[in-house]
Amino acid sequence: METNQVTLAAQLSEMGVRLADYEGKDIVSTSPVSGQVLATLRADSADQVKAKIDRAHAAFLQWRNVPAPRRGELVRLFGEELRTHKEALGKLVTLEAGKILQEGLGEVQEMIDICDFAVGLSRQLYGLTIASERPGHRMMEVWHPLGVVGVISAFNFPVAVWAWNAALAFVCGNSVTWKPSEKTPLTAVAVHALFQKALARFGSDAPAGLAELIIGDREAGSQMVNDKRVPLVSATGSTRMGRQVAQDCAIRLAKTILELGGNNAMIVAPSADLEMAVRAITFSAVGTAGQRCTTLRRLFVHDSVYDTVVPRLKKVYAGLPIGNPLQKTTLIGPLIDRAAFDGMQTALAAARAEQGQVFGGERVIVAGCEDGYYVQPALVEMPAQTNVMQHETFAPILYIVRYTDLQQAIALNNGVPQGLSSSIFTTDVREAETFMSDSGSDCGIANVNIGPSGAEIGGAFGGEKETGGGRESGSDAWKAYMRRSTNTINYSHSLPLAQSISFDI
* Active site amino acids: 259, 293
Cα–Cα nearest to 164, from 259, 252, 228: 259
Binding of residue 167 to ligand NAD (CB under 6 A): no
Cα 258 from Cα 470, distance rounded (Å) = 5
Using CB under 6 A as the binding rule, the residues of this chain from 439 to 468 that contact ligand NAD are: 462
Considering only residues 73, 259, 381, 466, which one is a binding residue for ligand NAD as defined by CB under 6 A? 259
Give residue 203's region: left, alpha or beta (phi > 0; psi -120 to 50): left
Binding of residue 287 to ligand NAD (CB under 6 A): no
Of 79 and 261, nearer to ligand NAD (C-beta) is: 261
Interaction pattern, residues 482-501, with ligand NAD; x per rule: CB under 6 A: --------------------
Using CB under 6 A as the binding rule, the residues of this chain from 385 to 404 that contact ligand NAD are: 392, 394
Least CB distance to ligand NAD at residue 245 (A): 5
Binding of residue 162 to ligand NAD (CB under 6 A): no
Degrees to nearest 5, angle at CA 22 with 93 and 369: 40
Binding of residue 225 to ligand NAD (CB under 6 A): yes
Considering only residues 60, 78, 155, 202, which one is a binding residue for ligand NAD as defined by CB under 6 A? 155
Q: Tally Cβ neighbours within 10 Å of residue 147.
A: 20
Of 241 and 301, nearer to ligand NAD (C-beta) is: 241
Cα 61 from Cα 93, distance rounded (Å) = 33
Interaction pattern, residues 57-86, with ligand NAD; x per rule: CB under 6 A: ------------------------------
Q: Is the Cβ–Cβ distance between 257 and 462 less than 8 Å?
A: yes
How many residues of this chain bind ligand NAD (CB under 6 A)? 30
3-class secondary structure for 109-156?
A: HHHHHHHHHHHHHCCCCCCCEECCCCCCEEEEEEEEECCEEEEECCCC
Considering only residues 86, 201, 218, 391, which one is a binding residue for ligand NAD as defined by CB under 6 A? 218
Q: Is 95 helix (H, G, I), strand (E, B) or coil?
A: helix
Of 169 and 272, nearer to ligand NAD (C-beta) is: 169
Considering only residues 31, 236, 256, 441, which one is a binding residue for ligand NAD as defined by CB under 6 A? 236
Q: Tally Cβ neighbours within 10 Å of residue 411.
A: 13
Considering only residues 32, 98, 231, 261, which one is a binding residue for ligand NAD as defined by CB under 6 A? 261
Of 325 and 470, nearer to ligand NAD (C-beta) is: 470
Considering only residues 8, 190, 211, 260, which one is a binding residue for ligand NAD as defined by CB under 6 A? 260
DSSP-derived secondary structure letter, 335: B
Binding of residue 157 to ligand NAD (CB under 6 A): yes
Cα 213 from Cα 225, distance rounded (Å) = 14
Binding of residue 473 to ligand NAD (CB under 6 A): no
Cα 184 from Cα 170, distance rounded (Å) = 23
46: buried, middle or exposed (CB in 10 Å: 19+, 13-18, 0-12)?
exposed
Of 60 and 155, nearer to ligand NAD (C-beta) is: 155
Binding of residue 222 to ligand NAD (CB under 6 A): yes
Least CB distance to ligand NAD at residue 287 (A): 13
38: buried, middle or exposed (CB in 10 Å: 19+, 13-18, 0-12)?
buried
Cα 183 from Cα 339, distance rounded (Å) = 12
Residues 6 or more apart whose CB falls under 8 angstroms from that of 379 comprise: 310, 313, 314, 317, 358, 359, 360, 398, 400
Binding of residue 176 to ligand NAD (CB under 6 A): no
Least CB distance to ligand NAD at residue 248 (A): 7
Pick the piece of the chain touching ligand NAD (CB under 6 A) from 60-68, 82-90, 253-261, 374-382: 253-261
Least CB distance to ligand NAD at residue 381 (A): 24
Cα 86 from Cα 403, distance rounded (Å) = 44
Least CB distance to ligand NAD at residue 498 (A): 47
Binding of residue 179 to ligand NAD (CB under 6 A): yes
Binding of residue 376 to ligand NAD (CB under 6 A): no
Of 149 and 198, nearer to ligand NAD (C-beta) is: 149
Long-range contacts of 18-25 (CB under 8 A, 24+ apart): 19/189, 22/185, 22/189, 22/215
DSSP-assigned states of every residue in 353-380: HTT-EEE---EEPPTT-TTSBEE--EEE
Binding of residue 217 to ligand NAD (CB under 6 A): yes
Least CB distance to ligand NAD at residue 194 (A): 20
Q: Is the Cβ–Cβ distance between 138 and 444 less than 8 Å?
A: no
What does the binding site for ligand NAD look like in residue numbers (CB under 6 A)?
Answer: 152-157, 179-182, 217-218, 221-222, 225, 236-238, 241, 244-245, 259-262, 293, 392, 394, 420, 462
